[in-house]
Structure 1
């Protein structure tokens, strides 16, 4: 895990949430699905996924919709729209870290 250096200050990692990206491939009229494991990194000033980076001030909330026994969808509510991520484990501690350290004035 890495830290962000901004203006000489270390913006340390607050929390990490694993998620999966389902990759679908069509080959010879057969559809195969593969899951690629990825991680969401929450820092004091931003949230970073494999292909997206959101500044903390652009995130209004993070929510979770459980589907099945273990996992569900994690939603990142931003000023650019809502981004969803499939998770196999509870993101409660990740959401709590966000609300305690990033959006503490709102919750």
Structure 2
């Protein structure tokens, strides 16, 4: 079993361009999981502060990965199956 794993998540940034047209800019980041915790582009959580990880799939593929933490629930838009990421999280939690 791996002791670390990552999954790609997507954020959409909306901007008005020079011609007053709405632009949607897709940015990709990685959510990193290891024995210490989970880190995104903007947040870091110690493993003991993450209570659960869940997933809401979309019918067209992808979905939302939810981190349930002591600071609230943090959603991440993903485009791949998070089963292995969730499995690694639960395995690491069981070791602590």
Q: For the residues of structure 2 that align with 1:79 and 1:43, how far apart are their CA atoms?
A: 18
Structure showing the higher strand proportion among its residues: 1
Where structure 2 has 5 or more consecutive residues not aligned to the other structure, the ranges are: none
Corresponding residue number in structure 2 for 1:22: 12
Aligned length: 93
Q: 1:100 to 1:13 in 2, by over 3 A?
A: closer
Going from structure 1 to structure 2, the CA distance change for 1:13 and 1:26 (only over 3 Å counts) comes to farther
More helix by share: 2
Q: Which runs of 5+ in 1 are unaligned?
A: 1-11
Residue in 2 that maps onto 1:9: none
The ranges of structure 1 where at least 4 consecutive aligned residues each deviate by more than 4 angstroms after the TM superposition are none
- TM-score of the superposition, structure 1-length normalised? 0.80
Q: Higher relative contact order at CA 8 Å, sep ≥6: structure 1 or structure 2?
A: 2
CA RMSD, 1 decimal: 1.6
Provide the secondary structure at the position in 1 that maps to 2:87. Answer: helix
